[in-house]
Amino acid sequence: MAGIAPRRCGDFRTQYQQEMTWFPSPRSAAFCVLGLALLLLAPLVLKNYGLALLIQIGIFGIAALGLNLVTGFTGQISLGHAAFYGFGAFCSAWLNNTHGVPVLLTIPLAGVLTAIVGLVFGTPAARIKGLYLAIATLAAQVILEDFFNRATWFTGGAAGAHANQPELFGFVFGTDARYFYLVLVALVLLYAFASNLMRTRDGRAMVAVRDHYLAAEIMGIPLTRYRVLAFALASFYAGVAGALMGHYIGFVSTESINILLSVQMLAMIIIGGLGSIMGSLLGAAFMVLMPEAVDTLFHLLSSGAAADKGLVYLKEISIGAVIILFLIFEPEGLAHRWRQIKAWWKLYPFPH
Amino acid sequence: MKTGLLMQFVLNGLIIGTLYGMVAMCFVLVYKASRAVNFAQGEFLLVGAWMCWGFMSSLNVPFWAGFLITMVGMTLLGALIQAVVIRPLIGEPVISVIMVTIGLSVVLRGLTLWIFGPEPKSFPGDASGAKVQLMGLNIEAVYLWSTAAAVVGMAAFAWFFKYSRLGLAMRATAFNQQVAQSLGVSIQRIFIVSWAISALVSGVAGVVVGAVNGISPGLTLFGIKVFPAVILGGLDSIAGAVIGGILIGLLENLAQFVDGEYLHWGNLYVVAPFYVLVLVLMLKPYGLFGTKDIERI
């Protein structure tokens, strides 16, 4: 064992202070720092294709974390997350194009404005919950989609909106490598905020609302406030993610903001694990990488461009199929698998 | 005021509304029996229509034979889906059931697109275009047929739940699962049957709509339109679903009339039901005929 810090083989927490730490053990903190360092070096190793995937994972990771805050932590299903994501994207492009606000400012600003929109559409949560709320958010998706198509002054209508590249003192985030760092900073900030939130009174109140809202209310937690707050917070994350994606692609179209995107985001948090912060990122990575894997497999198994039409549908089918399979076989998601692996290591030579 | 045009829209609304009502009825049936929300209802219509089209064009059978095979096929599909996909999730939180049916809808839509392609097709050799004069209004004959089919379907539903043994058992299950079970009703069978019936009736509706408008992925819109209908009528009331469906159909066509005549906004009729949905949820969440959830501590 020389040189290696001994592994901890169980929970030895004796004080609440220890429960409240960011990382369960120094080792997991070290892992996190190591992972971050590897990511910082990633642009030196990876080509544009790999970086583009990482950027997508990062952006969808942010959106999925927002959805997880409202669905996984507060227990309210939102079927309209893509609409908020789209609102953020359009909002940021609009602020920059018509009012000349620098892009680095419009991204958080778009998040704030989306949060306000989310607050409006979250107000039904004051009265209804569960299935009724899910249907209300579905209505939000349809209504916002219609708004995007109608409001040409805001979105450019069917033609879509142009989005400029972010710029800081003449330094343009034009290449994938530069944009990657921008996304990484946003990702780390927003993930740190969320994991910090879960250690506070507000975060725990949200979990209490999810677990047993009657008990929570009896303990003095204002249900309405936390339900609506969760919606606003989720919309903020969605808005920032949408804005980041819009300025990355350079173009926002109304067509990409559809209900399938909402379903994909829900799939991310289900695959990653409901109510798990790291799970949101894992799920986003899974959902971004899976179509690429399907693509590769498909081209391995069939040669010829004629079959390419089937590929689009095959990707769509695979999204639905993984949702079903995960719900039946691993409802707790990848985060749970990860915990099991960790638990196995904790006790390693001994089976129990 | 163009009274003739208005009347035409009202009539169209009633006709399309009965079809909405029929689909909404299936949705409520499944919800009542097994507390599962079926987000794949619209895809059932699509699958039913394509199934009938596929049988007719590949086996060269007449319409009625294709229709019968489709009815059998949809019943089996509904039962299969319940047994394989829905049953493992009994007792899981509501989000799991919602998500699994959403996943199902994505799979079914992808599969039909893959097999049959995205282009709309119409049934081979149907008699569309024939018009009937009724009180000075032009109505396509197929529309009348579809309404007749929907009304017959609803009457069969009513008879089934009022007089048949299985229908009574299903009502008992919806009322209280434990009591029903202690009276010898097999809950598992009821769940399967409710899904099978729901798939069957939706499939029939799909064939009917497909015969009128042609079959295209747009059929799945029916699945989304079901939500305003059931929320308006009350989520656990079959009569409410029918009435809600008719009201939504009327509303849609009236919105189209107002839009076309006065507002010129474009597609108001697509979103109007959803504004109503949001309003109903805010003012009267349990709809016109739904039972109110009373929570006791």
More confident residue, B294 or B255: B255
Q: Can you tell me the mean pLDDT for B282-295? A: 77
The alpha carbon dihedral of B175, B178, B183, B189 has a sign of positive
In this prediction, residue B73 carries a pLDDT of: 92
CB pair distance less than 8 Å for B270 and A146: yes
pLDDT above 60 (res B128): no
Any A CB within 8 A of B294 CB:
no
Contacts of A324 in chain B (CB under 8 A): 85, 100, 103-104, 107
Cβ-contact A252, A73 below 8 angstroms? no
- Written as six digits, the tokens of B239 are 């009569």
Residue A146 pLDDT exceeds 90: no
CB B23 within 8 A of CB B37: no
Band of pLDDT at residue A307, cut at 50, 70 and 90? low
Within 8 A by CB and 6+ apart from A265, the residues are A60, A63, A64, A67, A81, A82, A85
Q: How far apart, in Å, are the Cα atoms of B145 and each of A108, B96, B208, B220?
A: 56, 39, 8, 21
The pLDDT, as a whole number, for residue A240 is 93
Percent of chain B clearing pLDDT 90 (strictly above): 8
The Cα–Cα gap between A317 and A260 comes to 11
Q: Is the pLDDT of residue A2 over 80?
A: no
Give residue B80's pLDDT: 92
**Residue of B96, B277, B282 with shortest CB distance to A331:** B96
Confidence tier at A298 by pLDDT (50, 70, 90): confident
Asked if B90 is an interface residue toward chain A (Cβ–Cβ < 8 A), one would say no
Chain B residues near residue A319 by CB distance under 8 angstroms: 103, 106
What Cα–Cα distance (Å) separates residue B118 from each residue in A240, B46, B225? 34, 12, 21
CA A53 and chain centroid, separation: 15
Chain B segment 123-162 residues within 8 A of A by beta carbon are: none
Highest mean pLDDT among A300-309, B63-72, B103-112: B103-112
Host H or E run for residue A175: none
Q: Which residue of A has its CA nearest to B229?
A: A135
Q: A169 or B158: which carries more pLDDT confidence?
A: B158
On average, the pLDDT of chain A sits at 83
Please state the domain extents for chain A: 38-346
Q: Are A53 and A76 in contact (CB under 8 A)?
A: no
- Interface A–B counts its CB contacts (< 8 A) at 122
Residue B134 phi, psi dihedral angles, 5° rounding: -135, 115
pLDDT digits (tens, 9 = 90+) for B169-197: 888 888 888 888 888 888 888 889 989 98
Contact A327 B277 (CB under 8 A): no
Q: Both tokens of residue B19?
A: 């079809």
**If you average pLDDT over each of A56-70, A212-226, B13-27, which comes out highest?**
A56-70
Cα separation, B40 vs B126, in Å, equals 28
Contacts of A283 in chain B (CB under 8 A): none
Q: How confident is the model at residue B234 (pLDDT cuts 50, 70, 90)?
A: confident
Strands B137-140, A251-252: pairing is unpaired
Give chain A positions within 8 Å (CB) of B100. Answer: 323-324, 327-328
Closest partner residue to A317 (CB to CB) among B92, B95, B110 is B110
Q: Is the ipTM beyond the 0.90 threshold? A: no
CA distance B46 to chain A (A): 16
DSSP A174: -
Locate the chain A residue with the closest alpha carbon to B31: A131
Q: What is the pLDDT of residues B43-78, one digit of tens each?
A: 999 999 888 888 888 887 787 888 888 889 999 999
Q: Do A313 and B235 touch (CB under 8 A)?
A: no
User: Which of B103, B227, B265 has the CB atom closest to A323's CB atom?
Assistant: B103
Residue B162 pLDDT exceeds 80 = yes
String of DSSP letters for A95-153: HHHHH---HHHHHHHHHHHHHHHHHHHHGGGGT--HHHHHHHHHHHHHHHHHHHHH-HH
Residue B48: which of B201, B183, B221 has the closest Cα? B201
> Rounded to a whole number, what is the distance in Å from the CA of B65 to chain A's nearest CA?
30
Q: Which of A143, A263, A266 sits opposite B271 (nearest CB)?
A: A143
Measured between beta carbons, the chain B residues lying within 8 angstroms of A150 are: 265-266
Quote the pLDDT of residue B77.
93
Which of B100, B266, B270 is facing A324, going by the closest CB pair? B100
pLDDT for the residue numbered A1: 35
Q: Is-contact B276 B232, C-beta < 8 A?
A: yes
CATH architecture group of domain A38-346: Orthogonal Bundle (1.10)
Hey, is the C-beta of B218 within 8 angstroms of any chain A C-beta? no
Q: A328 contacts in B (CB within 8 Å)?
A: 85, 88-89, 100
Query: How confident is the model over B117-140, as a mean pLDDT?
Result: 67
A270-279 per-position pLDDT tens digit? 888 888 888 8
Rounded CA-CA distance A284/A278 in Å is: 10
Contact criterion met (CB < 8 Å) for A324 and B114: no
CB atoms A327 and B96 under 8 Å: yes
The reply to whether residue A149 touches residue B267, judged by beta carbons under 8 angstroms, is yes
C-alpha angle A200-A206-A207 in degrees, rounded to nearest 5: 95
Look up residue B68 and give its two tokens: 């019968």
When comparing pLDDT for B186 and A344, which is higher? Answer: B186
Which of B36, B44, B21 is closest to B238 using CA atoms?
Answer: B21
Burial of A352 (0-12, 13-18, 19+ CB in 10 A): exposed
CA distance A317 to chain B (A): 4
Nearest to B98 among A134, A143, A319 (CB): A134
Beta strands A251-252 and A171-172, pairing class: unpaired
What is the three-state SS of chain B? CCHHHHHHHHHHHHHHHHHHHHHHHHHHHHHHHHCCCCCCHHHHHHHHHHHHHHHHHHHCCCHHHHHHHHHHHHHHHHHHHHHHHHHHHCCCCHHHHHHHHHHHHHHHHHHHHHHHCCCCECCCCCCCCCEEEECCEEEEHHHHHHHHHHHHHHHHHHHHHHHCHHHHHHHHHHHCHHHHHHCCCCHHHHHHHHHHHHHHHHHHHHHHHHHHHCECHHHHHHHHHHHHHHHHHCCCCHHHHHHHHHHHHHHHHHHHHHHHHHHCCCCHHHHHHHHHHHHHHHHCCCCCCCCCCCCCC
CA distances from B14 to A195, B71, B144 (A): 53, 25, 11
Q: Do B106 and A319 touch (CB under 8 A)?
A: yes
Dist CA B285 CA B43 (whole Å): 26
Q: What is the mean pLDDT of residues A331-336?
A: 82
d(CA B203, CA B72) in angstroms, rounded, equals 10
What's the pTM? Answer: 0.86
**Mean pLDDT lowest among A130-134, A265-269, B275-279:** A130-134
Side-chain-side CA neighbours of B229 within 13 Å: the count stands at 32
Sign of CA dihedral A258, A260, A264, A269: positive
Q: Between A135, A139, A270, which is nearest B99 by CB? A: A270
DSSP A219: T
Among B96, B113, B235, beta carbon nearest to A313: B113
pLDDT at A4 > cutoff 50:
no
Are the beta carbons of A142 and B274 separated by less than 8 Å?
Answer: yes
Give A12-74 as a DSSP string: ---SHHHHTSSSSSHHHHHHHHHHHHHHHHHHHH--HHHHHHHHHHHHHHHHHHHHIIIIIIT
Chain B closest CA to A274's CA: distance in Å? Answer: 10
Q: Which residue has the higher pLDDT, A321 or A330?
A: A321
Determine the distance in angstroms separating the CA of B96 from the nearest CA of chain A, rounded to an integer.
7
